Amino acid sequence: MCFTLQVKSILTCKISGVSIELTCEVNSGVRDLEISYKSNKLKRTCTDYSVAQKTYSSEMAAKISQRIGELSAADSVEMLMDYQIGRCHQLKGNRHGQFAMDLVHPYRLIFEKDGHRIQLVRILDIEDYH
């Protein structure tokens, strides 16, 4: 989501009687990551607390919900890594191009940047890849 906030205000100085028009435009540059999912089952697990709780546990469901919230609120994957949100890190070897965020040990939320659109991530799996 990108938005521009425009504030327009007119101030009048009573002493000199001079009318001053002040226009301030702020472009916040906010762009949330958009999330897609590898499968509908994975989407239900990541977006429905009760499904995640039945599949894993209450603690895991809470952590999945937290990580999805962090992903959707982030400006970019690089921001997640720079600020170590969820211990987000890039994977290597046969998982090159993929990223992981910690869940309940030893599970990780695995995702990748989708295509060339930097602001779109695709959730691939919840697994213990160790």
Task: Please provide the DSSP assignment of 31-74 as one string.
Answer: -PPEEEESSHHHHHHHH-HHHHHHHS-HHHHHHHHHHHHHHHH-
- Say if residues 112 and 125 touch (Cβ distance below 8 Å): no
Q: Classify residue 73: in a domain, yes or no.
A: yes
Query: Which H or E run includes 78?
Result: helix 77-82
Q: Classify residue 92: in a domain, yes or no.
A: yes
Q: Classify residue 96: in a domain, yes or no.
A: yes
Domain count, the chain: 1
Q: Classify residue 91: in a domain, yes or no.
A: yes
Q: Classify residue 118: in a domain, yes or no.
A: yes
pLDDT of residue 17: 60
Q: Classify residue 14: in a domain, yes or no.
A: no
80-130 confidence digits (pLDDT tens): 999 999 999 999 999 999 999 999 999 999 999 876 655 788 999 999 987
Q: Classify residue 3: in a domain, yes or no.
A: no
13: pLDDT strictly greater than 60: no
State the residue range of the domain holding 65: 34-127
48-84 confidence digits (pLDDT tens): 999 999 999 999 999 999 999 999 999 889 999 999 9
Return the higher-pLDDT residue of 25 and 33.
33
Q: Classify residue 44: in a domain, yes or no.
A: yes
Total number of residues shown for the chain: 130
CATH code of the domain covering residue 56: 3.30.2310.20
| Cis status, amide bond into 106, omega within 30 of 0 | yes
- Identity of the residue numbered 94: N
15-32 confidence digits (pLDDT tens): 556 555 545 444 445 467
